[in-house]
Amino acid sequence: MKGIQEFPKHYCGVFGVFDHPNAAEIAYYGLYALQHRGQESAGIVTADGSTFHSHREMGLVPQVFKGNALAELKGRNAIGHTRYSTTGASHVQNVQPLIVDCNRGKIAIAHNGNLTNAAILREELEAGGNIFQTTIDSEIILHLLARPNLTADSNPLLETIRRIQGAFSLVMLTEKEMIGVRDPHGFRPLSLGKLDGKWVLSSESCAFDLIQAEFVRDVRPGEIVIIDEKGMRSMDAFPDQKRRAFCIFEYVYFSRPDSKIAGVNVYDSRIQMGRQLAREHAIEADMVVPVPDSGNYAALGYSLESGIPYHMAFVRNHYVGRSFLQPSQTTRSLDVRVKLNLVSDLVKGKRVIIVDDSIVRGTTSQSRIKILKEAGAEAVHVLISCPPHKFSCVYGIDFPDRSKLLAANASPEEICRHLGADSIGYLSQEGMVKATNQPEEAFCMACYNGDYPVAYESNVDKEIIERRTVDSVSFGDLLDKEASQSKLI
C-alpha cells in the first residue's frame, strides 16, 4: 500500500519508565497508547542492573508482545518504541529500540524524528571503521556515543547531541540510568511524568492517562534529562539556540486528541481549527460531515461555529488494518469503501460539507466525493483544516516529494475540478496558528511554506544504506561536571 499512500504516516512513538517493579508492563501500555504514531513494528528493552532484555518484532503492539514475551523482559527500567519507517527499510533488522554493547557498557535507544545530516555522519563513521547493522539514522547516534573519549574531560553525550542535526526526541537506557533528549528546535514532542513516584517519559501525554501517571511537563527543546538513583538532572544542551520549530501538524493530525502539548489540548486546537474554517469559508449547506477519524474535531468545530448540523455520514470500519490486501486495479474503489461506508439516505438531496485534515495526493478524497455524488448529494464542498501541503517534510513525516503532492502542482480551482467537488477551501496559515493559541515563531511549517528551520541534504536518498570495560560509564556523572548548567530537579 506504500505506493499509493494517501495520508502522511505518523513517524514514531517513544516511551520510558525508570525504577518501577512492573517496568515491562508499564512500557507495554505506554506503547499501546502511542500505537497511532507507528504501526509497522514495536519493541521494548528492559534493564535489570547488569543485563539488557529485548523483544522486538514487526506488527502492532498486542501482536508483538504475545504469550510470555513481557514476562521474559526482566528489570525495573524499560524503554519502548513504535515505528513507521521514513529512513531505513521496513523490516525487523530496523526495529527499535536499538542496543549496543560497547566500551561504555550497554546502551539502548528509541528515536522519534529524522536526522538531516545522517548521510554525512554515517560516511564519516564508516570511514573510521564503524560497521553498521541497520539502515536507520538512529544507529548513527549509538555509534557516536560509543566512540572512545578523545580527552579526559570529553562528554560523549553532549558531543553526540551537538553533532546530530534535524529532528530528534530520544529515550535512552544504560545500565544505570534513563535519558531523555529533545532537539534544540523541539520538532517532535516529548513529555515527562511520574507514576507511583517514578519517572516516565513519553512522546505524548495520552500515555500517562492510560497508565494513570501524573503529567509533569514537556521536555523542553534542547533539554537533556538524566534519571537515575539520585533523581533527575536536567540541562540545556543548546543555550544559544532560540528558534523553536515544533511541527504544527502534530496539532492538525498526528497527536491524539486527548494529548496536551505545550500546555495546549490537541482536542481544543482541532475544534478551534474547525471554527476558524467556518469564519474563513462560510458555505450554505445542510450538513457538516467529517472524514473519520482525522476530520472529526475540525468538523465539529465548523458545525459549532456555523450552526450547520453535524452528521457522521461516513461510518468507519475499525477492523481494517495495515494487512488489508490492496485491491486489484479493476476493484480499486473497494479500498475506500471498505474503510469508510456512507449512510446514503442521510445525504440524498442534501448540500454536504465534508471536512478532513489534509489532502496529500487526492486519491481517496476523489473517491469519497464520487461516493457522495452517487448517493444523491446535491452538492459536495470540501474543507481542509490546514493550508495546502506544497513541500516535503525532512524532519520525520512521510510526505512524498513535491512531484506527488497535489497542492504543489495544481491551483485550488484545478484541485476542485480534479476531485469533482463543488468547492474547496483550506484553512489559512494564520488561522491554523491562531487555533493553537501560540505564536507563529513557535512552529515549523515547512510543509506549507518551504521555510526549513534546519538545513538538510537535498541530494541524498532518504533511505540511508542499510568489547566493553568492567565499569560502565554514567552519563549523569559526566553531566555533573557541567555544574554551571546542570541542576537536580
Of 210, 190, 212, residue with least CA distance to 201: 190
In SS3 terms, 64-77 reads as: HCCCCCCCCCCCCE
Query: ω before 97 within 30° of 0 (cis)?
Result: yes
Q: What CATH number has the domain spanning 265-318+326-438?
A: 3.40.50.2020
Measure the CA–CA gap between 403 and 398, rounded to whole angstroms: 14
- 3-state class of 78 per DSSP? strand
Q: For this structure, is 444 an active site residue? A: no
Task: Dig out the grid coordinates for 380 from the structure.
Answer: 459536495
- 3-state class of 357 per DSSP? coil
Secondary structure (DSSP) of 384-422: ESS----S--SSS--PPPGGG-HHHHS-HHHHHHHHT-S
Measure the CA–CA gap between 306 and 284, rounded to whole angstroms: 9
Please check whether residue 365 is in contact with residue 373, taking contact to mean a CB–CB distance below 8 angstroms: no
pLDDT of residue 326: 45
Say what the pTM is.
Answer: 0.89
What is the number of alpha carbons within 13 Å of residue 467 lying toward its C-beta?
1
* Torsion of Cα atoms, 72 then 78 then 79 then 80, to 10°: 30
pLDDT of residue 444: 97
Query: pLDDT tens track of the chain, all 489 residues?
Result: 333 344 454 479 999 999 999 999 999 999 999 999 999 999 999 999 889 999 999 999 999 999 999 999 999 999 999 987 544 455 688 899 999 998 889 999 999 999 999 999 999 999 999 999 998 999 999 999 988 776 667 789 999 999 999 999 999 999 999 999 999 999 999 999 999 999 999 999 999 999 999 999 999 999 999 999 999 999 999 999 889 999 999 999 999 999 999 999 999 999 999 999 999 999 999 999 999 988 999 999 999 999 999 999 999 887 765 433 444 544 445 666 778 899 999 999 999 999 999 998 888 899 999 999 999 999 999 999 999 999 999 998 877 788 889 999 999 999 999 999 999 999 999 999 999 999 999 999 999 999 999 988 764 444 433 333 335 667 777 777 664 444 433
Name the segment(s) of the chain with CATH classification 3.60.20.10. Answer: 11-245+461-488
Of 406, 419, 398, 461, residue with least CA distance to 1: 398
Give the architecture-level CATH label for domain 11-245+461-488.
4-Layer Sandwich (3.60)
Q: How far from the centroid of its chain's Cα atoms is residue 440's Cα?
A: 20
Please check whether residue 115 is in contact with residue 125, taking contact to mean a CB–CB distance below 8 angstroms: no
Please check whether residue 104 is in contact with residue 472, taking contact to mean a CB–CB distance below 8 angstroms: yes
Task: Dig out the grid coordinates for 371 from the structure.
Answer: 461516493
C-beta neighbour count of 214 within 10 angstroms? 12
- Phi, psi angles (nearest 5°) of residue 413: -65, -40
Name the segment(s) of the chain with CATH classification 3.40.50.2020. Answer: 265-318+326-438
For the chain, the residue count is 489
